[in-house]
Amino acid sequence: MYDQPRPNRPAPAMTFDQMLERVRYEGAYPTRERAEEAVRTVLAALGRQITGDERVDLAQCLPVEAALALTCSAPDAEQLTGWGFVKGLAAQTGVSPAVARWDTGAVLAAVTRLAGPDLIARVLQRLPDDYALLFGQARLRRPQPTAA
Instruction: Tell me which amino acid residue 128 is.
Output: P
Phi then psi for residue 124, to 5 deg, are -65, -25
Q: Which of 52, 34, 49 shows the shortest CA–CA distance to 106?
A: 34
Give the global pTM.
0.85
Plot region of 137 (φ>0 → left; ψ -120 to 50 → alpha; else → beta): beta
Rounded Cα distance, 14 and 145, in Å: 43
Mind listing the pLDDT tens digit of every residue in the chain (148 residues)? Answer: 445 555 555 556 799 999 999 999 999 999 999 999 999 999 999 999 999 999 999 999 999 999 999 999 899 999 999 999 999 999 999 999 999 999 999 999 999 999 999 999 999 999 998 999 999 988 655 555 666 5
